[in-house]
């Protein structure tokens, strides 16, 4: 195996192991020795890629941000209405949270006191901008009520989306997340969307929940 490819695979293994431990134990309770043992690598291999635990945390936050941007870009390429795009983005992020530790750990790190270093943006700010832009588009497309306070709704949506994951982590199994996302959207759709358009979006939310396979 070429040296560069082997190094990239080792780096990815270390990040995944760290994300798993950060997600399950928390950042403060996880040591570099724990990560070395969990990743089955040497300390030398870890220090070759990361000088400190903070650098590992930042790498995870970068990957989470990149995943959110990729999800948004893929959805935008499909030409959905703004509201449908926003709904699909939240379910895609939910899928990432269910399927792997990096997104889960990134959120726990960002809401657990780990500094998000510039130029990286805090996930809350990043998601707030996405939600605000899509909701403004939905107003222009008459998909939601015209008198809606878009910024208040965007803030509430992101708080709901993030808060469900933070509060639910010690209380509910990961398999519950898609259902919580649907509950969020059913509440929002009934409060935001004109009556004659609600069935389409309610059924969309239910269908997207079913498409997330929880192992």
Burial class (CB in 10 A: 0-12, 13-18, 19+), 143: buried
SS3 state at 136: helix
Q: Classify residue 18 as exposed, middle or buried by CB count within 10 Å of its CB (0-12, 13-18, 19+).
A: buried
Average pLDDT on 15-40 reads 94
Mean pLDDT of 25-48: 94
d(CA 178, CA 164): 11
**What is the 3 state secondary structure string of 99-132?**
HCHHHHHHHHHHCCCCCCCCCCCCHHHHHHHHHH
Rounded-to-integer distance, Cα 88 and Cα 78, Å: 11
Mind listing the domains of the chain with CATH numbers? 64-210 (1.10.357.10)
The pLDDT score that the predictor gives to residue 215 is 58
CB 214 within 8 A of CB 175: yes
Q: Is a pLDDT exceeding 90 seen at residue 118?
A: no
pLDDT at 1 over 60: no
Judge whether 18 and 56 are in contact, CB under 8 Å. Answer: yes
Please say if the pLDDT value at position 107 is more than 90: no
**Residue 171: pLDDT above 60?**
yes
């Amino acid at each position: 195996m070429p040296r560069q490819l082997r190094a990239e695979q080792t780096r990815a293994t270390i990040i995944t192991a760290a994300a798993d431990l950060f997600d399950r134990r928390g950042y403060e309770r996880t040591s570099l020795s724990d990560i070395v043992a969990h990743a089955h690598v040497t300390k030398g291999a870890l220090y070759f890629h990361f000088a400190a635990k903070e650098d590992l945390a930042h790498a995870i936050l970068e990957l989470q941000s990149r995943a959110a941007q990729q999800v948004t870009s893929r959805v935008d390429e499909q030409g959905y209405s703004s509201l449908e795009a926003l709904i699909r983005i939240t379910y895609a992020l939910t899928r990432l949270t269910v399927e792997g530790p990096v997104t889960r750990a990134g959120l726990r790190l960002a809401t657990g006191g780990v500094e998000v270093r510039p130029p990286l943006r805090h996930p809350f700010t990043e998601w707030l901008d996405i939600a605000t832009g899509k909701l403004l588009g939905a107003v222009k497309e008459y998909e939601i009520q015209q008198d809606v306070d878009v910024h208040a709704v965007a803030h509430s949506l992101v708080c709901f989306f993030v808060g469900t994951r933070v509060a639910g982590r010690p209380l509910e199994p990961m398999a519950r997340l898609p259902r919580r996302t649907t509950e969020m959207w059913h509440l929002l759709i009934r409060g935001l969307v004109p009556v004659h358009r609600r069935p389409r979006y309610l059924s969309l939310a239910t269908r997207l929940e079913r498409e997330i396979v929880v192992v």
